Amino acid sequence: MHIRIINPNTTASMTAAMHQAAQHQAATSTTVTATQPDAGPVSIESHFDEAISAVGVAEEVLKGEREGNIDAYVVACFGDPGLLAARELTRAPVIGIAEAAFHLATLVSTRFSIVTTLGRTGIIAEHLLEQYGFRHHCRRIRAAEIPVLDLEHHPDAAFKRIVEECCRARDEDGIGAIVLGCGGMAGLTAEISREVGLPVIEGVSAALKLAESLVSLGLHTSKHGDLDYPRPKAFTGTFSELSNLHFPLTR
């Protein structure tokens, strides 16, 4: 099977790091490719960033559908930007890394805490917990108060702050697991778990394995109801090339 990782921001080095983490976890029969939009924010740390990046996610799914050989997609930002819109564009499963991490955390613990980058993105995670129905499973959302790109530019200092927050969560929150609240933390799971001594779930790997499971089970995005393909219509200006799309594009 072929799974496409979509990094909704435009930082290629972060895309490469998430690609490497996903490849490390993938089954030997799974091909993993990764991409990011041509335009958009270099990191996603606000509602505005998410709104812009959601367009890029949709465009990357459309590209994948025209290629015609993608079996599932992973939206690799913890805000899950554009997730439902992406699901409208394809029959392939589309997995957001926050939703995936929440699901897996509840399978190994009755309570978890989230450790994310900035406090303001923790509020966005609160909204997702409510939306997905996991609010009662999450004890606390903790922020290391580091910009997302510090994971790239100052990795040692960022790692230290993340581990410190994870240890506080372990000691103070009454939890059994920790969810890492940023796609840029992909690849840190094993090392953080060794430091903290709890199961640590990061969303890129979680989403990849869920995507593999759905494809193996022959399950696809339902086209009955609100996730049906969008109706063809005219778009104007910057989005005129999206006018009168007829789905499926190549399938």
How many Cβ atoms sit within 10 Å of the Cβ of residue 38?
9
DSSP character string of 36-60: --SSS-SS--SHHHHHHHHHHHHHH
Note the pTM of the prediction, 2 decimals. 0.95
Query: Per-residue confidence of the chain (251 residues) as pLDDT tens digits?
Result: 999 999 999 999 999 999 999 999 999 999 999 999 999 999 999 999 999 999 999 999 999 999 999 999 999 999 999 999 999 999 999 999 999 999 999 999 999 999 999 999 999 999 999 999 999 999 999 999 998 888 888 889 989 999 999 999 999 999 999 999 999 898 889 999 999 999 999 999 999 999 999 999 999 999 999 999 999 999 999 999 999 999 999 75
Beta bridge partner(s), residue 110: none
User: Is 249 part of a structural domain of the chain?
Assistant: no
How many Cβ atoms sit within 10 Å of the Cβ of residue 7?
31
pLDDT confidence of residue 251: 55
User: Is 78 part of a structural domain of the chain?
Assistant: yes
Which residues constitute the domain of residue 130? 98-203
User: Is 134 part of a structural domain of the chain?
Assistant: yes
Residues 111 and 196 in one domain: yes
Identify which of 233, 215, 211 has the alpha carbon closest to the alpha carbon of residue 103: 211
pLDDT confidence of residue 150: 85
Residues 178 and 189 in one domain: yes
DSSP one-letter code for 183:
G
Residues 102 and 198 in one domain: yes
User: Is 251 part of a structural domain of the chain?
Assistant: no
* CATH code for position 123: 3.40.50.12500
105 class by beta-carbon count within 10 Å (0-12 exposed, 13-18 middle, 19+ buried) = buried
Residues 6 and 90 in one domain: yes
Residues 12 and 58 in one domain: yes
pLDDT confidence of residue 250: 74
| CA distances in angstroms from 243 to 58, 82, 87, 234, listed in the order given | 14, 19, 18, 4
